[in-house]
């Protein structure tokens, strides 16, 4: 079986299990999505969803977050991993949005990646989920699945992203990203995984 054939079969399985995968981070606008994705580093989506309601009540838009102190932000996000650094970067991010983008989240990869705390993966999530632009965000979990399923031999997430983009059409990238996240959580954990019982690993790995 070629890599392309494997990708098509995997895509069919993911479509059957997750035909319309929801965005796991709760948000009401592009700014809130950006904040939630920044908070999600080294933290579960579930934990982010527990802290953002209070944060977004105080600061639903960039202008209000920029006016908060780091200490105030930290109190609201303390239960997230690396909270002190995230509080500092979120304040800087909000201030930069106000100063350089009129308080709006820019709809471009280059501009997003210049924001404090925003890397390529975070920018890709925002481009796809907030603006509907083709992007395939790849984190360590998707990187692991791509290698396990022999869709990529890459040793870094950047090359894995390029490999996956070649295997799936652009209109599927965002959906595949979400499907792989949910599949990894529910069927394909990093540790203590019985590949013989996995709907994909049982034949693809």
What is the set of active-site residues? 121, 139
Residue with tokens 């109190």: 75
By residue count, the chain amounts to 205
CA angle 67-68-71, nearest 5°?
Answer: 150
Residue 167 backbone dihedrals phi, psi, to 5 degrees: -85, -25
Residue with tokens 């083709």: 134
Q: What CA–CA distance (Å, rounded) separates 65 from 199?
A: 44
Q: What CA–CA distance (Å, rounded) separates 65 from 55?
A: 9
Residue with tokens 């069927």: 187
């Amino acid at each position: 079986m070629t890599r392309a054939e494997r990708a098509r079969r995997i895509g069919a399985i993911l479509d059957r299990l997750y035909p319309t995968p929801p965005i796991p981070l709760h948000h009401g606008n592009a700014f809130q999505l950006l904040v939630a994705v920044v908070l999600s580093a080294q933290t579960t989506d579930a934990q982010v969803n527990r802290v953002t309601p209070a944060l977004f009540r105080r600061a639903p838009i960039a202008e209000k977050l920029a006016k908060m102190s780091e200490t105030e932000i930290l109190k609201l996000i303390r239960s997230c991993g690396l909270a002190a650094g995230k509080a500092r970067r979120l304040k800087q991010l909000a201030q930069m949005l106000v100063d350089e983008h009129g308080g709006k989240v820019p709809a471009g990869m280059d501009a997003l990646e210049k924001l404090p705390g925003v890397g390529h993966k975070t920018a890709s999530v925002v481009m796809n989920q907030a603006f509907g632009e083709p992007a395939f965000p790849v984190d360590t979990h998707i990187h692991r699945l791509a290698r396990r399923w022999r869709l990529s031999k890459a040793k870094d997430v950047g090359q894995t992203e390029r490999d996956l983009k070649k295997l799936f059409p652009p209109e599927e990238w965002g959906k595949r990203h979400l499907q792989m996240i949910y599949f990894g959580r529910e069927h394909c954990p990093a540790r203590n995984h019985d590949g013989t019982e996995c709907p994909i690993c049982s034949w693809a790995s």
